[in-house]
Structure 1
Amino acid sequence: MQQDCNLVLYKNGNPIWASNTGGKSSNCYFTLQKDGNGVVYDQNYRAIWATGTNGVGLSYIILQCDGNVVLYTPDARPIWATGTNGRKEIINLEEDSRMEKPSTDFLISEVVLAGNV
């Protein structure tokens, strides 16, 4: 998550996917909600971007080895993706599972789960 509230995936310092929310607010964060929707919230807890996948319940998001960030249903059905497959990247997550600044090294940092596991 950039300081301007744009959620961006980088490769070698170059953006390859973005939520296009830059400049809409400040102090934003990304969360995977218990209803399965991935949402960027601003400092006032207003949703400024979402994956549009609410209603699937327990879900998980993975940065795959091919560089694609994919949101899966509990039965492992993909329901949303960045479409960046073939572009191996990293997204670092803070301890509370909020996305933080990306790095250019290849590594899957964590799997983010939503709901009660």
Structure 2
Amino acid sequence: MKKLIFSKSFRVFIACLLILAFAVPATASAGYLGDKLLIGQSMQRGDYLLSQDGRFKAIFQDDGNFVIYKNGSAVWSSNTNKNGITTFTFEQERGKPVIHGYGSKWQTVYQYGYRWGLNPANGKYEYYWGYGFDNVLVFDVTKQVDAWIANTEAWIPGHHGSTLPVNTPGDTLVMQSDGNLVLYNNTLTNEYYPNSGIPVWASNTNGR
């Protein structure tokens, strides 16, 4: 049997590759975005924001849901775990993070499938495979709608009263170490926030 003999330079090259492979830290994964999402940026499925203390994670999941976890337990979600979800974008035009989805509506269609009813083959009421009318959810892939949006119009009046316009945009989304996911406008200040940005929306999960 012939032996395979590798040159010294080739063995050094392989050793360097192995060192690099094991030297990459776990936090360098493609899904980790730090603790902030800035205006104009987007999240892909599996991307997440992690609070600086590491206890809170806001992740855009594979099922389309945007969820905040505290030490692995869910404390808030966008309730968008459904078919037709497409993208998570921090829109520049509106200054808000938005989860988009395809437009959809229920339609009655005639199709082949597993159904309950009168089986024409034997005249019995039973489950059978056959044609019939079904109500199905049909997606319009040419139309994008807001499946979820950071609703500043509802949040600002409850937090700021009438001192801040309800359509004030944000520019930075932060997963904070107190458990709150907060949308800030860092170009504005007021008497309550003289040295920092003004919050225009939050998940209200601090202290949970």
**Band of TM-score, shorter chain:** 0.5 to 0.7
Counterparts of 2:69 and 2:177, CA distance in 1: 15
Distance 1:79 1:10, change over 3 A: same
- TM-score where L is the length of structure 1: 0.61
Deviation at 1:24, TM superposition (A): 4.0
| Counterpart in the other structure of 1:41 | 100
Distance 1:70 1:58, change over 3 A: closer
AA aligned opposite 1:18? S
Gaps spanning 5+ residues in structure 1: where? 88-117
Gaps spanning 5+ residues in structure 2: where? 1-59, 103-140, 154-166, 189-196
Deviation at 1:52, TM superposition (A): 2.7
| Counterpart in the other structure of 2:87 | 29
AA aligned opposite 2:173? I
Deviation at 1:77, TM superposition (A): 1.2
| Contact 1:4/1:25 (<8 A) preserved | no
Deviation at 1:80, TM superposition (A): 0.7
- TM-score where L is the length of structure 2: 0.36
Counterparts of 2:95 and 2:65, CA distance in 1: 21
Structure ranking higher in strand proportion = 2
| Contact 1:39/1:49 (<8 A) preserved | yes
Question: What RMSD, in angstroms, separates the aligned Cα atoms of the two structures?
Answer: 2.2
Counterparts of 2:177 and 2:71, CA distance in 1: 16
Pick 1 or 2: higher relative contact order, CA cutoff 8 A, min separation 6: 1
Counterparts of 2:203 and 2:80, CA distance in 1: 15
Aligned residue pairs total 86
Deviation at 1:58, TM superposition (A): 5.4
Deviation at 1:12, TM superposition (A): 2.4
1:63 aligns with 2:175: yes
Structure ranking higher in helix proportion = 2
Distance 1:22 1:38, change over 3 A: same
| Contact 1:39/1:47 (<8 A) preserved | yes
Counterparts of 1:25 and 1:38, CA distance in 2: 18
Counterparts of 1:58 and 1:78, CA distance in 2: 8
Summarize the alignment of residues 1-117 of structure 1 with structure 2, pairs less than 5 Å apart: 1-26=60-85, 28-34=86-92, 35-42=94-101, 44=141, 45-53=144-152, 55-57=167-169, 59-73=171-185, 74-75=187-188, 76-87=197-208
Q: Percent identity?
A: 37
Distance 1:85 1:18, change over 3 A: same
